[in-house]
Amino acid sequence: MTSPNDVVITGIGILSSLGEGAEANWTALRSFSGPVLDGDRFAPYTVHPLPEVDWSLQIAKRGDQRQMEAWQRIGTYTAGLALEDAGIKGDEALCASMDMIVAASGGERDVDVDTMILNKVAEGVDDIGVAINEVLTTELRPTLFLAQLSNLLAGNISIVHKVTGSSRTFMGEEGSGISAVQTAAARIRAGQSTHALVGGAYNAEHPDMLLGYELGHFLSRGGWAPVWEREPVEGGGIVSGSGGAFLVLESREHAEKRGAKIYCTLGPVAADQGMPGTQHTLARLERMAAEAGLAGTGMIVSSASGSHSRTADEKTFLQAHAANIPVRGVTSAFGHMRDAQFPMAVALAALSLSHGEALPPLGSAFEAEADAPSSIGVLTVGFNAAEGMAVVSKAEGAGA
């Protein structure tokens, strides 16, 4: 039974190493023969790099492009793709009343200044605190602080695409993407919002992003393997990827009134975060699976990070509680996009349902062949913390 306040997905924007746009990425996945990788620029680390992008297709003004960092350009561009896909881009009334929730990082650091500080640590200075303050006060550009504001991605989307309803920015790695989708969906279901732009972006091709992971020993040093099979590979298991994923969520009533194409219906979004450790994690995942209705789905799209302990916990959960449901670890294809992980997984599940096809296995024996599903579970277990689940179902009614 449908409801006017059902949450439906009407727009998908994807930018990844596999291509630009929802359909290009879907086509690449259907004939997936291996990921696009760069193992040279940041050796011994491997990344999934972006292809060449003509930013002017979604960010018309050169001045706007120049003042954005790469992650902001990626996000603003991908948001434009989602708005265009939903038929909202350029509609002043719809954009002005549209809410926006962005999952964002803290910007990109000044690598030269970070290098100076790390060199001083390596030199063994007497008082590292004094040395850090000295470098920061003499070398750091004051404007860098402005460029690093996490809400600048939302600000740039507002400026470029005129999305000027309410705006929220969440930070916190994968948890920010989960919370962004959860909050937008809850607001629409409660009648507090009619349509919202939700998503995130990540630039893996920046040394400070790799440094942040490697300080926690999370990065793979042995190249690529399917995300479920990285335990034997040297390093921590993560192969990061540049890209973005944005969704247009609407109430069913709002979407049908404007004659929008509906990809699928988004059910309740469950989220949690708590104590580390396998037993604590499994208990949270079991609770969320019951809340989201994961057991009744025909496929699970997972954005497992590859991080050894957390991905092992996720695999244990899937083997115990979803043993008969085919799984797809989409990070094998795109890399770990941090803030965009959950929106990306939701987007791919929506594309699968709208095309009436199952995502193919992505290089792992853990991923069984599958028939076309009528509902798909979406699962994200953050590389360090945070977990999220949702179920998307085939669209019903007008616009489907």
Give me 311's structure tokens.
């991905």
Q: 367 near 32, Cβ under 8 Å? A: no
Beta strands in the chain (DSSP E): 7-16, 19-20, 47-48, 99-103, 167-170, 195-202, 240-241, 243-251, 264-266, 270-272, 299-302, 327-329, 375-381, 387-394
- What is the arithmetic mean of pLDDT over 153-172? 96
Q: 111 near 139, Cβ under 8 Å? A: no
- In a domain? residue 224: yes
Give me 70's structure tokens.
């790469």
Q: 26 near 351, Cβ under 8 Å? A: yes
The per-residue pLDDT for 136 is 81
For residues 130 and 90, membership in a common domain is answered with no
Tell me the per-residue pLDDT of 340-389, one tens digit each, with 9 for 90 and over.
Answer: 999 999 999 999 999 999 999 999 999 999 999 999 999 999 999 999 99
CATH number at residue 220: 3.40.47.10
What's the gap between Cα 383 and its chain centre? 13
Q: 95 near 163, Cβ under 8 Å? A: yes
For residues 357 and 264, membership in a common domain is answered with yes
Exposed/middle/buried for residue 24 (C-beta within 10 Å: 0-12, 13-18, 19+)? middle
Q: 71 near 203, Cβ under 8 Å? A: yes
- In a domain? residue 399: no
Tell me the per-residue pLDDT of 102-115, one tens digit each, with 9 for 90 and over.
Answer: 999 776 667 788 78
- In a domain? residue 292: yes
For residues 218 and 98, membership in a common domain is answered with yes
For residues 127 and 87, membership in a common domain is answered with no
d(CA 143, CA 53): 26
The per-residue pLDDT for 117 is 84
Domain that holds residue 122: 111-144
pLDDT confidence tier of residue 319, bands split at 50, 70 and 90 = very high
The per-residue pLDDT for 128 is 86
